[in-house]
Amino acid sequence: MRYQSSRKAAPLISAAALIALGAAVPAHAGNLLLNPGFEDPTPVSGEDATATFWNFGGSVLRANFASRPGNGGVRGIWEQCWQPAGGVQQTVSGLSGGTNYSLSFWSFFEQPGFGVTGATYEAQLIWNSGAPSQLQFTGAGAPANTWTQFTLNATAPVGATSVTVSFDFFNGTDHGGAQSVFLDDADLEGAGPVPTATWKVNGSGDWNLTGNWTTASVPNGVGAEAVLSSAITAPHTVYSDTAITVGSLTMNNTQTYVIAGAGTMTLAASGAAPAVVKVLAGQQKINLPLIVNSNTTLNVSTGANLRISDPMTINPGFVVSQTGSGSVTYESIVNVLNAAAISMNPSPQHIAALNISGTGAATMNAGGTGLLRTDILSMGASSTVDLNDNDMIVSNNSYSTVSGFIRNARNNGNWNQPGITSTAAKNNPVHNTTLGAITGAQYHTAAGGTALFDGVAVSNTDLLIKYTYYGDADLNGKVNGADYARIDSNFNLQATQGQISGWFNGDFDYNNKIDGADYALIDAAFNNQSGTLRPAITFLTGGDPGVNMNSNPALKRVLDNFDAFGQDYANVFLSSVPEPTSMALASLALAITLAPRRARRR
């Protein structure tokens, strides 16, 4: 091996100075070196002269006793400094001249033996244009018998497009005893093509074996990139029994990859960019506990699916969002911590437990086809579930708790408070939609004992929430005579039984009683559905509706309920439809004041 050093041009630098030079390290971008831990290939003996992507020369070997303890590897480089010369090199292309680079590495000096060999040990960045950058160690000044990390910061010469990274020694002589230098875990950072670790085994295997990846390095760290693509021809499992971290995970195969094991996976990107899990094809599965430690995008292409089958925890302040027209299925627990958030595309979801704390939020994106089902729902007083125009099934909870979440979020129709909310209802210009909630038993009473809710079988104790019209008491998606029969019957029962609550009974504003406001809400929705909203508004604002109010069932409802409930009814009706004017409301108040009252007949 021929070393490309310029030793005469580079001064010898003491160990203390070398450590100081490592203080100004560029922001992390990714290791430009392949096989930086020298772990690949798996050796057939304790020592060899082979490390994938590295060139060996002179008296240097790879050894299982030369690895830095605690780094997860088992091999390192053994520089035999009592010999004349030796070293390892790797060339990296695609660099940018005039920009900064940082080479860090770990070394162990056997002292006092190394100090008396006369050898010089050096780390070099040998640019393809201009003078090299070097760190050199010599004599007893090198650190003694401890693993130490060093960093060489350098600016690539203008015009440089590649660099050879070299760790070598020269001028060694044998004085007996321990005289070696060990090397491990090299890292070159700077502008250039960061190698992407791609799974290369057509079979199941350990994530943490370097030989399973094309880069001969394990993707494990903040910002690390991993690709599971065309290697497998049948479903296989990539497992990890220890914690791993990635910033980007791509899964692209019509066959299924399952990421499993006894470890965990943390999603953490470097810099401001989000972490990304990208599924381009197939039915892929993450079956490790998933920890979200940066903003994260789940990008699933058309026809593909990502299953998250172990608990996912979104740490405070981070957001998980979904893009692409494919689907993400949550099959376990989702923990949304304080100030964290998750958004899901509208598709059927069955979450074992949805736990939201503090100001955390879970949103099902608008689309009208989503059903969020959770066996356990736990929310704090400041937490939010936004269903938009989708539906929900909640098990193992009480109606009073769930309806209370809706009541709090609805806030008299403003939809501006925490709880179970609907941005679609808030933004509906007609203001005739809301979230209706009934029990499974009530749903079966109205629709039949085997009736499905959004295609899903429900038990009598389940709680069903539907984005629907005000007044749709039985959640069949429309307001009709059955809904009026239900509210009328329960309104009259209040005369002998006291206040009656519950959406199914006609309490459409969740204020624990059936009153004129509930009639106003159902009438407004019914008239909008019937195409008679405009004459109803005109009548309630004191104008001439231009039609006989008794000639249409929807308008007759308005006439009767206005007569029975007066201004409270009118105010709620007009506030639930577009743009009632303050002048019209004032005129209405005067008209009501002068009008005679009739008793309500039911």
HEC readout, 98-148: CCEEEEEEEEEECCCHHHHHCCEEEEEEEECCCCCEEEEEEHHHCCCCCCE
Q: Is residue 196 part of a domain?
A: no
- Tokens matching residue 125: 């960045």
Q: Are residues 340 and 436 in the same domain?
A: yes
Q: How far apart are CA 178 and CA 110, in angstroms?
A: 6
The pLDDT of 49-71, averaged and rounded, is: 95
Whole-angstrom CA distances from 306 to 250, 259, 275, 291 are 11, 11, 16, 16
| pLDDT attached to residue 57 | 97
Q: Are residues 145 and 279 in the same domain?
A: no
Q: How far apart are CA 543 and CA 342, in angstroms?
A: 48
Q: Are residues 458 and 531 in the same domain?
A: no
Q: How far apart are CA 466 and CA 468, in angstroms?
A: 6
| pLDDT attached to residue 45 | 80
In the chain, the largest separation of any two C-alpha atoms, in whole Å, equals: 118
Q: Is residue 504 part of a domain?
A: no
Question: Is the per-residue pLDDT at 4 higher than 60?
Answer: no
For the chain, give the percent of residues with pLDDT over 90.
Answer: 78
Least Cα distance to 156 among 69, 98, 81 occurs for: 98
Q: Are residues 289 and 409 in the same domain?
A: yes
Per the DSSP assignment, residues forming a β-bridge with 162 are 93
- pLDDT tens digits, one per residue of 520-534: 999 999 998 888 888
| pLDDT attached to residue 578 | 65
Q: Is residue 425 part of a domain?
A: yes
Q: Which of 428, 451, 467 is the last residue of a domain?
A: 467
- pLDDT tens digits, one per residue of 13-36: 333 334 333 333 334 468 999 999
| pLDDT attached to residue 393 | 98
Q: Are residues 169 and 253 in the same domain?
A: no
Residues 6+ apart with CB under 8 A from 539: 545, 549, 555, 558, 559, 562
Q: Are residues 574 and 460 in the same domain?
A: no
Band of residue 43 on the pLDDT scale cut at 50, 70, 90: confident
Q: Are residues 536 and 408 in the same domain?
A: no
Q: Is residue 201 part of a domain?
A: no
Name the residue with tokens 């405070």. Answer: 316
Q: Are residues 170 and 256 in the same domain?
A: no
| Axis-axis angle for helices 567-575, 516-530 (nearest 10) | 50
Q: Are residues 417 and 535 in the same domain?
A: no
Q: 397-433 b/e with 16+ CB inside 10 Å = b?
A: bebeebbebbbbbbeebebeebbbbbebbbebeebbb
Q: Is residue 180 part of a domain?
A: yes
Peptide bond before residue 429 is cis, with ω within 30 degrees of 0? no
Q: Burial of 450 by CB count in 10 Å (0-12 exposed, 13-18 middle, 19+ buried)?
A: exposed
More confident residue, 410 or 481: 410
Q: Are residues 315 and 449 in the same domain?
A: yes
60-63 and 47-48 as β-strands: parallel, antiparallel, unpaired? antiparallel
Q: Is residue 73 part of a domain?
A: yes
Q: Which domain holds residue 454?
A: 240-467
Name the residue with tokens 């960093």. Answer: 151
Q: Is residue 153 part of a domain?
A: yes
Q: How far apart are CA 89 and CA 104, in angstroms?
A: 14
SS3 for 571?
helix
Predicted TM-score (pTM) of this structure: 0.82
Q: Which of 207-211, 314-318, 386-390, 583-587 has the lowest mean pLDDT?
A: 583-587
Cβ proximity of 114 and 142 under 8 Å:
yes
Task: Please provide the average confidence, as pLDDT, over all residues in the chain.
Answer: 90
- pLDDT tens digits, one per residue of 267-291: 999 888 999 999 999 999 999 999 9
Cβ proximity of 356 and 336 under 8 Å:
yes
Q: Which of 173, 190, 207 is the last residue of a domain?
A: 190
For the chain, give the percent of residues with pLDDT over 70.
Answer: 91
Domain tally for the chain?
A: 3
- pLDDT tens digits, one per residue of 184-225: 999 999 999 999 999 999 999 999 999 999 999 999 999 999
No. of helices (H) and no. of strands (E), the chain: 11, 39
- pLDDT tens digits, one per residue of 546-600: 889 898 988 888 898 998 888 888 888 888 776 543 334 444 443 333 333 333 3
Q: Are residues 425 and 545 in the same domain?
A: no
The pLDDT of 449-458, averaged and rounded, is: 97
The pLDDT of 124-152, averaged and rounded, is: 94
Q: Is residue 184 part of a domain?
A: yes
148-155 and 100-109 as β-strands: parallel, antiparallel, unpaired? antiparallel
| pLDDT attached to residue 6 | 41
Q: In what order do the strands lie in the sheet with 391-394?
A: 348-351, 371-374, 391-394, 463-469, 433-439
Q: Are residues 176 and 277 in the same domain?
A: no
